Structure 1
Amino acid sequence: MERLRFWLLDLNYEVRSGRPEMWLWGVTEDGPRVLLIDDRRWPRFYLLPREDADVEGLQVQVTAQGQRLKDFVAARVAERRWQGRPRRVIEVQTRAVDAAAMGRLAQAFRKIPGIETALEDDIRWSVQYLLDCQLTPSTWWACLFEPMEGLDRPAAEAGLRVGRVVAEDPALVDETLPPPDLRFVAWGMLPWQAEGIMLPERDPVVIIGLYDGQTCYVLTGEERSLLEQFLAIWSRLQPDVVFGYGVNRWDWPYLLERFHRHGLALAVGRDGSEPHPSLYGHISITGRANVDVLDFATEISEVKLETLERVARYLGLATDFEEWDDWTWAQRWKQDPAAARAWFERRLQTLWQVSQEFWHYAVELSRLTGIPLDQVGPAAAGFRVEHFLLREARRAGELAPKRREQPYVPYVGGYVLEPRLGIHENVAVLDFKSMYPTLMLLYNISPDTYVPPSEKVSADEVFQAPTTGHRFRKHPDGVYRTVLRRLLEARQAIKERRRRLPPDGPHARLLAAQEKAVKVITNAVYGYAGWPGARWYARPVAEAAADWGRWTIRQAIEWAGELGLTVIYGDTDSLFVVHEPDRIRALIDRIRSRLQMDIELERVYRRILFTEAKKRYAGLTEAGTLDIVGLEVVRGDWAPVAQEIQEAVLTAVLRDRDVDRAVGIVRSAVQDLRAGRMDWRKLVIWKTLTKRPDEYKANTPHVAAAQVLLERGHRLTAGNKVGYVVLRGTGPLYRRVAPYPFVPVDRIDVEYYVQNQVIPAAGRILNVLGVPESRLLP
């Protein structure tokens, strides 16, 4: 027996000889990879007795009935909290490791008179284990370790240390320590078919590669040999973290099918297992972290079409990589395989660069939420917040409510002041920092502090929302106040540590990733509170937070007027005012002292243009760059030609102060379109499918284009982006589209793009400045 320190990389459960085991995969301080098997715990859930029930008597009944049921192990009385109050409950231990089997067992016990409900039977055992042990992935731990002979799997990784966790739970070493020296690999593969419509049951993989930061291993040739060589290199590299781009949806499922077609096993797991689907649509590789970088790229709101090339350029990476779509890839591979191979190598190297930009953030997000590295990327914001709440609730002994999907009922959101149209000079933006989390903390807004209208309580015991009248107890602290206070304190502590370090040092970059992770979760708490699928959902919570937010921004606008500041625009948690430093400082001081809210001067625009619509404006920063919000240039459902022209128009009127030049830009573009001098790819409109094409009831252009792609052999589902071009003809628009890349260029409806793309996008800017649309047409 020895004491072992390890960094927790992955975990999964197994059932052997009827006993559930949790397998913890880690990396030790001195380098060896380790598997720690913990069979000390049983999966469990709780039965909540009625408040007047005989809890000990119910425990006896549960035990007696349980002994007749397949998966029952034991039942005992435990002290927990429910909705903020101490309660005595019955903890049921079970052999059932999946939520469905656990749910069936819980349903049988709920029928016992005196049992109010069952709780936490819908939480996966792997999550329960992490909560019970207060174990956090991507962090250093120590435990007593009893070595074993090895793993009884024929394809298990050589050199893997295997042993059992004995005695106590793993103990935290230091959550601030950086990760160990991990083995990273970026990988990708591409099949081939003449039209770029690749099907895994038909079309072979023609190129596959791995890049470890130093050597690029690129394989081509006969498919079976290529696949076997891939496994050999994988076995030699033995990666801990595997980076890909879009691999959860495409590469891993495709490669698995091709391996099976040859009677081969894609044994890439540390235990010799194959990749398999798991939570949130991700692909799990046992004992390793499969990180799909696309999951993190989709969080960049400024990048609408998340190709690897666009993400790399957004991150400012020096790369000459140009993304190819499937059709272009098919043509290039056929015409010049050597050039296509060189492009593929550049793609792997670019993927490596991009992955390193997201790596520290992924680690810190995993640490903060308690979600393993391979799952935290595809997990939606609501699930990230929920994991964090589950951990905090477990620390307090609070039982988690069940998740119940409910229909979404809209409620009044933030306050938006109508903008003053046109161009304004020298405008300052004042931003309330973490407005909604701060309001939830100040007024103790939480499901467990909510006071229903029927409940009588003294007015001095509650906070009451100004318009909705929702009431929340001032004491004790609700679950949201508890977690938000911890998050805000953590963020402040990280900021203080960053200030004492050189800004370009490795530790400062690690702290920056920590701060970003904390900020992301903090700001997502309010959205989670209004999500009907949340465990801790209560509609009055979301309504009250929005109510206090509207009251706060209106109060700030009123005080700005009293101080003589000209308010140009207001939006939810921001004010745009004419920049007068002394008056702005006075307003900030008043808000901080009277409202206990943090508001800062976020930026100053040299010039800013507001259109006729709320939440749509563009400003020229003091650094000379353009900030564009809500306009067509930053929206993903407009053709590139419209976006490029609108951005050029904004540059002309804001940076160059030249409206005539802006008009000339539009007229020239219209002439190029009509003369056929415009690259037709700039006319492709991209839209995302929000469900399967056959689930749409309305006829829309992108769905019609998707149907054509399906007929040609493509496979599409929710989340896929479909590009289309509008063709000449009669009838509704959806009957006049061709999907990218199958576009008859000589039939493109140029006038559609002039009248419905270019002129509206440019006109939104120039009409505000008094330029009629008729001036934009040559």
Structure 2
Amino acid sequence: MGNMGSMKSAPFRGWLFDIYPRGGDMVLWFITPEGVPLRVAVAFPMPVYLAGATSVEVERCADRLHQAGEVELVGWTERNDLWTGKPMRVFAMRVLHVETWKQRTLPAIARKFPDLSWFNADLLPAQVWFYENNAFPLAQCAGVIADGRLTEFKILDDVWDRDYPMPPLRQVHLEGRGFLDAKNPRIESLSLTHDGRTYQWRSADGILGGFQRAMDDIDPDVVVTQHGDGFLLPLLLTCAARRDTVLRLDRDPAPGGRKVRTEGRSFFSYGRILFQEPDCELFGRWHLDGGNSFMVSHTGFHGMIEAARVGRYPVQRGSRRSIGTGITSVQLAEAWRRGVLVPWKKAQPEVWKPVPMLLKTDRGGLVYAPRPGIYENVVELDFAAMYPSIMTNFNVSPETINCPCCAHPRRSVPEIGYRICDRPGLVSEALRPVIERRLAFKALRKRAEVEGDEEARQSFDHRQNALKWMLVCSFGYLGYRNARFGRIEAHEAVSAFAREILLRVKDLCLDHGWSVLHGNVDCVWILKPQWERGEIDDLIGKINTATGLTIVLEGIYKWLAFLPSRQVADRPVPTRYYGAFVDGKTKFRGIECRRGDSPAFIATVQEELLTELAAAPTADEYRRRVLAMRSRMEEYEGMLRRCEVPLEQLMITTMLSREPAEYRGNSASALAARQSIKAGLEYHAGQPIRYILTDKANTDPNRRVRLMQLIDPETTADPDAYITLLRRAMNCLLWPSGHQLDETPTKAKPKAKPRETMKQLTLWDAAYSEAV
């Protein structure tokens, strides 16, 4: 950027912390090495491109936007078309008002000129700024500021650096209690924790003033909450507005003041109804909501930062979006680097297929179902990032499948015969550095573990975990029709490669004397009567050579139990098993301690017993030990019968599959949802709802369950209902022994009076704020 000349200027160094558009500028916040926040602005007219059948129509549209003061004209230029790989003639413009462009200006002008095609027109302005300047969140920067504007700027590190330093950030943790009711909102208590010290306020009048003084004194860079987006911050802002008080949450207040949003949205994804709370991002500081962020809750702070850096998107936005946002942004950055146009509206429909071809192509991964039973000395081999590796190794990308430029390419897709272009694919090349980076972080994690550096081990683990989730969703987005770089034929090609590879693995295992006990898409469980460790290493080397991918030893089991279906006794369930590795660690899938709808008490009991059983050296010893635990199981049943288990440990959490008013049956979830309507609580499809089973067999449906918010000191749980759930969990562990408990217990005696301690049940927790 050019020097501003005679204006007073000052150099600076720091980390690029926050970014957002404001007017015609992009506002940047930096954190200096001393922890001082700096606000600067830089002009940013955002580039967009327009194409059409005739240049006259394109120029007429561009002139209209220019006359309205919406864009500055650049002129005709060439950019690359994704599907053909050839240059395409387009008209370039730069948007002057990026804040209103996507929501207002672009849809309006598209309606007036429906036959024209827009490119790069709906991208997030902050991400475009990152792409144009080869920048990323928390990049180390140096530059010059003159009168609050950025005049010189350069990046001092690289986005692919692995051991990058973090800026000194001041964090506060905010918790509160109250009711976000449209007619009578009230906040009852608030606490703010910073640097080991906690500030608490309990009077409505003192909360707002005390909180604002603490924020002004501390001036935090990061505000961490649980459900701050949909509950706590809107509640604070609403209560402040009721008292004609301005609550300054932002470092850089928005023009016209902050608008309070309390309504989220329900949406359908991968067969599930999900709910997203409204965003409450701050300007000049971060608000991280652990209850509204997959990345924060699953990968921690370091994982969230890693995903934002690699994805080149603002930290706050990325923390609130789906995991697909990150990998899509990686692909967008690669498109920008190549000069590839990104269409506003995708027009790449699925190719018509005859029925025989559809039956051949529309298939998923391969599964060898295991025979139910308990086995010893089982070896599990797992491909490292199998599907993303297929994309990179075999050049699978939307534009490379059946491309128009290669009549006789070097590669084709096994079984279905699709042609694969020889030119490097956009998606495959975008994924390559992410895969390599994750492998590097896993190696760094292992080194830190050997050196006993727990802080570094955890940091590298969170970072590789964030990249794992980005890679996991890359395959799904490849087949998602609304994804920017999605195409179902590419998705089918990856599945076909995966099936072929697993067949090769099976053949290699059999050739070397191993039996394939179970195979599930990207991993196999194998065994044979006698073997030595060197044989496993030899097999792994041969598989890697034959497939071109990397398979690794996941572990060696002392014993491993594959469970049958609960409905059909001899039917295998590929994803329902548990076992103990030779190092004493356990692995379990599909049982109660892994299910989100299991009461905490049931899940904890099952996991505790399974952890103890992991010490059994053989399958026979497992059977002996699990039968010896029958008395322990009876003790847990006695605790339920005597109402000794706190109600918090018996809460059942389920996701609402529809709006509460739409339920018609009398399932436990439906009954709890209807109770929420009567109580005036606001729930939506996709939100979790928590309740207690109080009398499951009662002829009055309303007495069968009790919504969490309606629990009072006299509420008791139904012992029979929870004993049934407990026995079901215990039967998973007992099954290899050949013994099973009757899941329908003898009718319990009248319920005992709740213990005095149970009257202290605290209704306020993270789930309560979800409901409110």
TM above 0.5, one fold?
yes
| Structure 1 residue corresponding to 2:21, chosen from 13, 25, 28 | 13
What displacement does 1:547 show? 1.8
Please tell me whether the aligned partners of residues 59 and 76 of structure 1 are also in contact (alpha carbons under 8 angstroms): no
Please tell me whether the aligned partners of residues 405 and 533 of structure 1 are also in contact (alpha carbons under 8 angstroms): no
SS of the residue 1:138 aligns to? coil
Partner of 2:239: 258
For residue 126 of structure 2, give the secondary structure of its aligned residue in structure 1: helix
Pick one of 651, 658, 668 that aligns with 1:684: 651
Instruction: Give 1:430 shift.
Output: 0.8
**Which residue matches 1:345?**
none
Which residue in the other structure is 1:466 paired with? 414
DSSP 3-state at the match of 1:366: helix
CA apart distance, 1:765: 3.9
Corresponding residue number in structure 2 for 1:341: none
Please, which of 194, 216, 220 is the counterpart of residue 235 of structure 1?
A: 216
**Partner SS, residue 231 of structure 1:** helix
Q: Distance in 2 between matches of 1:405 and 1:660?
A: 62
The offset of 1:418, in angstroms, is 1.2
User: 1:260-316 CA deviation, whole Å, 9 max, x = no partner?
Assistant: 111111112112456657997331111001112334567767xxxxxxxxxxxxxxx
| 1:775 CA displacement | 9.9
Give distance in 1, aligned partners of 2:45 and 2:338: 21
- Calculate the TM-score normalised by the size of structure 2: 0.80
Deviation larger for 173-182 or 233-242 = 173-182
Distance 1:732 1:619 in 2: 43
Cα deviations by residue, 1:400-457 (Å, 9 ceiling, x for unpaired): 23366999999532222111322212222111111001111121111111217xx695
1:120 Cα deviation from its structure 2 partner = 2.2
Q: Give me the whole-angstrom Cα distance separating, in 2, the residues matched to 1:127 and 1:775.
A: 55
Equivalent position to 2:431, from 484, 504, 507:
484
Note if contact 2:373-2:562 (Cα within 8 Å) is conserved in structure 1.
yes
Which moved further from structure 2: 672-681 or 601-610? 672-681
Q: Which runs of 5+ in 2 are unaligned?
A: 1-8, 265-275, 351-357, 565-572, 617-621, 747-772
Q: 2:490 corresponds to which residue?
A: 541
Relative to structure 1, is the Cα distance of residues 111 and 749 closer, same or farther in structure 2, using a 3 angstrom cutoff?
closer
* Distance of 2:480 and 2:247 partners within structure 1: 39
TM-score, normalised with respect to structure 1: 0.80
Larger deviation: 136-145 or 169-178? 169-178
Residue 377 of structure 1 aligns to a residue in which SS? helix
**Following TM superposition, by how much is the alpha carbon of 1:244 offset from its aligned partner in structure 2, in angstroms?**
1.5
Q: What are the superposed Cα offsets for residues 39-94 of structure 1, whole Å, 9 maximum, x if unpaired?
A: 2x3234211345xx6x6x66644444444545243241222111133222111223
Aligned partner (choices 568, 573, 577) of residue 517 of structure 2: 568
Counterpart check, 1:142 vs 2:142: yes
Match of 2:683 among 712, 716, 719: 716
For residue 498 of structure 1, report the CA deviation from its aligned partner.
6.6
Task: Show the counterpart of 1:48.
Answer: 51
**Which one of the candidate residues 191, 207, 229 is aligned to 1:209?**
191
1:444 partnered with 2:412 = no
Selected match of 1:740 from 695, 702, 708: 708
1:572 Cα shift?
1.6
Counterpart CA distance in 1 for 2:444 and 2:638 is 57
Pick aligned residue for 2:374 from 423, 428, 432: 423
Q: Is the 8 A contact 2:288 2:296 kept in 1?
A: no
Within 2, Cα distance between the matches of 1:463 and 1:699?
56
The equivalent of 1:435 in structure 2 is 386
Counterpart mapping for 1:338-417 below 5 A: 358-402=300-344, 411-417=362-368
CA distance in 1, matches of 2:175, 2:10: 40
- For residue 380 of structure 1, give the secondary structure of its aligned residue in structure 2: coil
Number of the residue aligned with 2:272: none
Question: In 1, Cα distance between the equivalents of 2:600 and 2:35?
Answer: 49
Distance in 1 separating the partners of 2:540 and 2:470: 26
Q: Helix, strand or coil: the match of 1:450?
A: coil
The CA distance in 2 between the partners of 1:407 and 1:666, in whole Å, is 57
Letter of the structure 2 residue corresponding to residue 622 of structure 1: V
2:536 aligns to what SS in structure 1?
Answer: helix
**Correspondences of 1:69-218 after superposition (within 5 Å):** 69=68, 71-83=70-82, 84-97=85-98, 98=100, 99-104=102-107, 106-107=109-110, 110-111=113-114, 115=116, 117-146=117-146, 148=147, 163-166=148-151, 170-173=154-157, 175=159, 176=161, 177-191=164-178, 199=181, 201-218=183-200
Distance 2:258 2:347 in 1: 30
1:696–1:457: structure 2 CA closer, same or farther, 3 Å change rule? farther
Q: Which deviations, in whole Å up to 9, do the C-alpha atoms of 1:593-642 show, x marking residues without a partner? A: 11111011121222211101210111112332332211122101233454
- Partner residue, 2:6: none
Deviates more, 1:599-608 or 1:403-412: 403-412
Aligned partners of 2:607 and 2:522: how far apart in 1? Answer: 26
2:756 matched to which residue of 1?
Answer: none
Q: After the TM superposition, which residues 528-607 of structure 1 pair with which residues of structure 2 at under 5 Å, given as runs?
A: 528-578=477-527, 580=531, 581-607=533-559
1:549, CA displacement in angstroms? 1.1
Q: Deviations over 1:476-500 (max 9, x none)?
A: 1111111122223334555666777
- Tell me by how many angstroms 1:389 deviates: 1.3
Residue pair 2:293, 2:321 contacting (<8 A) in 1 also: no
Quick one: distance in 1 between partners of 2:442 and 2:649?
Answer: 43
Q: Is the contact between residue 652 and residue 659 of structure 1 (CA under 8 Å) also seen in structure 2?
A: no
Spell out, residue by residue over 1:702-743, the C-alpha distance to the aligned partner (whole angstroms, 9 max, x if none).
Answer: 132022123213222344321223324456978833222535
Amino acid at match of 2:475: Y
Spell out, residue by residue over 1:669-701, the C-alpha distance to the aligned partner (whole angstroms, 9 max, x if none).
Answer: 445545655555544321122453235566542
Residues 185 and 607 of structure 1: CA distance in aligned 2, closer, same or farther (over 3 Å): same
The answer on 1:706 being equivalent to 2:664 is no
SS of the counterpart of 1:451?
coil
Distance 1:434 1:300 in 2: 22
Q: Which amino acid aligns with 1:395?
A: R
CA contact (8 A) 1:36 1:164 kept: yes
Match of 1:617 in 2: 577
Distance in 2 (alpha carbons) for counterparts of 1:456 and 1:404: 21
Distance 2:441 2:558 in 1: 32
Q: Could you tell me which residue of structure 2 aligns to residue 306 of structure 1? A: none
Pairwise CA distance, 1:523: 3.1
Once the two structures are superposed, what CA deviation does each residue of 1:14-45 show, in whole Å capped at 9, x if it has no partner?
22xxxx11111111234432111112x32342
Number of aligned residue pairs: give it. 684
Residues 774 and 23 (structure 1), Cα distance of their counterparts in 2 relative to 1, 3 Å cut: closer
Identity %: 23
